Chain A
C-alpha cells in the first residue's frame, strides 16, 4: 500500500526566503506525482505535475523535483510571499487509474 509522507508538517518563514518542502513515498512504481495547494476552506489547486519519466517541473517561482528510485520529491519555492501561505499537498498516482494517494500536507506560513 502506497504511503506518502510530507516533512515538515508546518513551516513558518519570513517573506523573501527560499524554502523547500519534502515529500516521500513508499512505492516507487508511480505514474506521476503532483503538488497541490489548499487554502483554508477551499479546494485543491494543482501546482505542478511530474510524470514518472521526468526529473523536474518548473512554474514561475516553483520548482518540483522527482527522484522516483529513492521515492522522493521536493517543492522549492523561491522568494516566498505572504500570498504563498497555504497547505501544500503532495500526491502520487499509481498505475493508470488516476487514484491519488495524498500526504498530510505542509502548512506554510510566510510572514510579512
Chain B
C-alpha cells in the first residue's frame, strides 16, 4: 500500500501556543486529504477534508479558524492547532485518498499542558 508519513508522532505544548502537524505522501500523489481526531475510547471523527489547492471543508462543530489546514501540494498537507488548549489534547491522524481507499499516517499524539 501507499506510504504516508506523519510527524511529529508525539508533541507536548503549552496552552495558548500553536502546533503544526505534517502529513506527507511518499510514493503517490493524493488529491484528497482527510484529517481525523480521536479522543480516548472514542471513534475517529472526521475533522475536515481538503483538496490540493483549494480550501478545506470542515465538518460541523470543527472550528476552521482554530484548526488550520493547508494542502499546498499533492504530497503535503498540514494541520495547525492554533491557541491550543488542554481540551485539544487528542490523537490526530491524516489520511490520503486515492482510488477507493485511504492510506493513513502514523498519527500524532498532542498533549496540551
Cross-chain contact A103 with B43 (CB below 8 angstroms): yes
Question: Least Cβ distance of A79 to chain B in Å?
Answer: 24
Determine which residue in A42, A43, A46 has the highest number of CB atoms from chain B within 10 A of its CB, and name it.
A43
> Restricting to A34-76, which residues have a CB under 8 Å from any CB of B?
34, 36, 41-46, 49, 51
Where chain B touches its partner, the secondary structure class is strand
Extra inter-chain contacts (8) besides given A49-B100, A104-B41, CB under 8 Å: A42-B107, A43-B4, A43-B105, A46-B102, A46-B104, A98-B32, A98-B100, A101-B43
Considering only CB atoms, which chain A residue lies closest to B42 in the complex?
A104
Question: Least Cβ distance of A66 to chain B in Å?
Answer: 15
Cross-chain contact A98 with B97 (CB below 8 angstroms): yes
A/B interface sample: 17 pairs, CB < 8 A? A4-B43, A41-B9, A41-B107, A43-B106, A44-B44, A46-B102, A46-B104, A49-B101, A93-B100, A98-B32, A98-B49, A98-B100, A98-B101, A99-B46, A100-B44, A103-B43, A104-B42
Q: Measuring CB to CB, which residues of chain B are less than 8 angstroms from any residue of chain A?
A: 1, 4, 6, 9, 32, 34, 36, 41-46, 49, 93, 95, 97, 100-107, 109
Interface residues on A, range: 20 to 34
Q: Measuring CB to CB, which residues of chain A are less than 8 angstroms from any residue of chain B?
A: 4, 31-32, 34, 36, 41-46, 49, 51, 89, 91, 93, 97-105
CA distance A22 to B11 in the complex (A): 34
Cross-chain contact B41 with A43 (CB below 8 angstroms): no
Cross-chain contact A98 with B42 (CB below 8 angstroms): no
Considering only CB atoms, which chain B residue lies closest to A3 in the complex?
B43
Considering only CB atoms, which chain A residue lies closest to B99 in the complex?
A98
* Cβ contacts under 8 Å, A51 to chain B: 100
Considering only CB atoms, which chain A residue lies closest to B107 in the complex?
A43
